[in-house]
């Protein structure tokens, strides 16, 4: 003789499985990162030669940046090499967050740095910013601005503001040139 609980389970299980099974449909499933906003950082993807002013007048320092799309084209991954003169090596991951309608980036480096940014692409520029503190403990706003974007070059600047974003000082300007294969 069957137990009542097993009898009930034998009737309910097929119904539950039918309700929880994914719907079959003739269309290919779309990528979770197929929205146009996920393409806003595509200008950055590639191999780049980076140059910036050195510490001495007329001096130019060189680095390399390698950018690629990973994880189903949902994430932009950066590998930065500041060269021997600077010694800074770091990486970042960036993704567009549809619920926030913003880009978010996390940076880490070989000097113990961890920075988190939020921003957007508007007016031909990608601007990512964050709140931080100076070494003296003063609150500062920090931002990265990607601008003057062409297929083979762009300018990037690390900027800071101590007056709530009314004025910005460029701390580190970098000019990027796409490396030819």
DSSP conformation letters of the chain: ---HHHHHHHHHHHHHHHHHSPPP-SSPPPPTT-SGGGGTTGGG-EEEEEEEE-SSTT-EEEEEEEEEEETTTTEEEEEEE-HHHH--EEEEEEEEETTTTEEEEEEEETTS-EEEEEEEEETTEEEEEEEEE-TTS-EEEEEEEEEEEETTEEEEEEEEESSTTSS-EEEEEEEEEEPP-
pLDDT at 1: 53
pLDDT at 55: 87
CB 92 within 8 A of CB 74: no
pTM: 0.80
Classify domain 36-178 at the CATH topology level. Lipocalin (2.40.128)
Mean pLDDT by 10 residues, the chain (181 residues): 45 41 52 92 97 92 97 97 92 97 98 97 96 90 98 97 95 96 70
pLDDT at 11: 40
Length of the chain: 181
d(CA 174, CA 155): 6
CB 67 within 8 A of CB 42: no
């Amino acid at each position: 003789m069957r137990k009542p609980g097993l009898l009930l389970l034998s009737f309910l299980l097929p119904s539950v499985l039918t309700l929880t099974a994914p719907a079959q449909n003739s269309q290919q499933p779309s990528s979770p990162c197929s929205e146009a906003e996920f393409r806003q950082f595509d200008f950055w993807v590639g191999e780049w030669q980076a140059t910036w002013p050195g510490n001495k007048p007329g001096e130019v320092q060189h680095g390399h940046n390698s950018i690629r799309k990973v994880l189903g084209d949902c994430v932009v991954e950066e590998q930065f090499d500041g060269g021997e003169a600077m010694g800074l090596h770091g990486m970042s991951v960036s993704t567009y967050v549809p619920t926030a309608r913003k880009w978010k980036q996390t940076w880490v480096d070989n000097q113990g740095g961890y920075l988190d940014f939020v921003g957007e692409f508007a007016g031909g520029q990608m601007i990512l910013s964050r709140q931080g503190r100076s070494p003296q403990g003063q609150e500062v706003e920090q931002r990265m601005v990607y601008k003057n974007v062409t297929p083979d070059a762009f300018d990037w600047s690390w900027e800071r503001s101590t007056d709530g974003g009314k004025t910005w000082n460029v701390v580190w300007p970098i000019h990027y040139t796409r490396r030819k294969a």
